[in-house]
C-alpha cells in the first residue's frame, strides 16, 4: 500500500489544500494529513480545532488526520509512509520546499517527497489570505469548505 503524509499547519484548511489532497489520492492509496505545530508561528485555531475541521472536510475519503510534534520525517517514518506530499503554488514556494525535501532525504532516504502543483484557480489561495478576507468580512465562497467558513465567521464576529 502506498501511503503519503501531507503535512501543514492548515490554519485553516482551504480548497487549495483539499485539491492537492484529492489529486494526491490518485497517486497514493491512503494519505495522512499531518497537522503540525511550528515554534515560530502563532495560530488562529488551536491544533485540535484544525484537526476537527479537516476531519469534517475529508469525510468519505481514504484519509486519516493526525497531529504531530517534532520532525516531520520522524513522524512519516513512524507511520510507515512511502512519501511526503507537498503542494506548490508558485516558484517562490519551490526554494523552501526544495530545501526541506533535501533535508528530509538526508535524514531518511527511503521516504520520497512528491510535489503537486496547485491548480491555477487556487494559486493565490493561502490560509493567510483566507484569514485576512474573513477578518475584513469578505466573501469566502470558493476558498474554504462550509464548515471552515462557519468557524471563521464565529471567530471574526
pTM of the model: 0.94
- Whether 88 is covered by a domain: the verdict is yes
- Whether 140 is covered by a domain: the verdict is no
**Residue given cell 493567510 in the structure block:** 128
> Per the residue annotation, which of 15, 50, 127, 151 is the catalytic one?
127
Distance in angstroms (rounded) separating the CA atoms of residues 64 and 34? 9
CATH number at 11 reads 3.40.50.620
Query: Which tens digit of pLDDT belongs to each residue from 16-67?
Result: 999 999 999 999 999 999 999 888 889 999 999 999 999 999 999 999 999 9
- Whether 138 is covered by a domain: the verdict is no
Mean pLDDT of the chain: 94
Single out the residue of 153, 105, 102 nearest to residue 130, CA to CA.
153
> Is 23 annotated as catalytic?
no
- Whether 131 is covered by a domain: the verdict is no
> Is 41 annotated as catalytic?
yes
The boundaries of the domain holding residue 49 are: 3-123
Q: Which three cell numbers stand for residue 73?
A: 520525517
* Mean pLDDT value of segment 126-142: 95
> Is 131 annotated as catalytic?
no
- Whether 153 is covered by a domain: the verdict is no
Residues of the chain with pLDDT > 90, as a percent, come to 87
17: left (phi over 0), alpha (psi -120 to 50) or beta: alpha
Q: Structurally, how many domains does the chain consist of?
A: 1
- Whether 94 is covered by a domain: the verdict is yes
Distance in angstroms (rounded) separating the CA atoms of residues 28 and 26? 6
What is residue 150's predicted lDDT score, i.e. its pLDDT? Answer: 96
Amino acid at each position: 500500500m502506498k501511503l503519503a503524509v501531507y503535512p501543514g499547519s492548515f490554519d485553516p484548511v482551504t480548497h487549495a489544500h483539499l485539491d492537492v489532497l484529492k489529486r494526491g489520492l490518485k497517486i497514493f492509496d491512503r494519505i495522512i494529513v499531518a497537522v503540525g505545530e511550528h515554534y515560530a508561528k502563532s495560530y488562529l485555531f488551536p491544533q485540535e480545532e484544525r484537526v476537527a475541521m479537516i476531519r469534517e472536510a475529508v469525510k468519505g475519503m481514504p484519509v486519516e488526520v493526525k497531529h504531530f510534534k517534532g520532525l516531520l520525517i520522524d513522524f512519516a517514518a513512524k507511520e510507515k509512509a512511502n512519501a511526503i506530499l507537498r503542494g506548490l503554488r508558485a516558484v517562490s514556494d519551490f526554494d523552501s520546499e526544495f530545501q526541506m525535501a533535501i533535508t528530509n532525504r538526508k535524514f531518511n532516504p527511503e521516504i520520497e517527497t512528491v510535489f503537486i502543483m496547485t491548480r491555477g484557480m487556487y494559486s493565490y489561495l493561502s490560509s493567510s489570505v483566507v484569514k485576512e478576507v474573513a477578518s475584513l468580512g469578505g466573501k469566502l465562497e470558493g476558498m474554504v469548505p462550509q464548515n471552515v467558513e462557519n468557524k471563521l465567521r464565529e471567530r471574526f464576529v
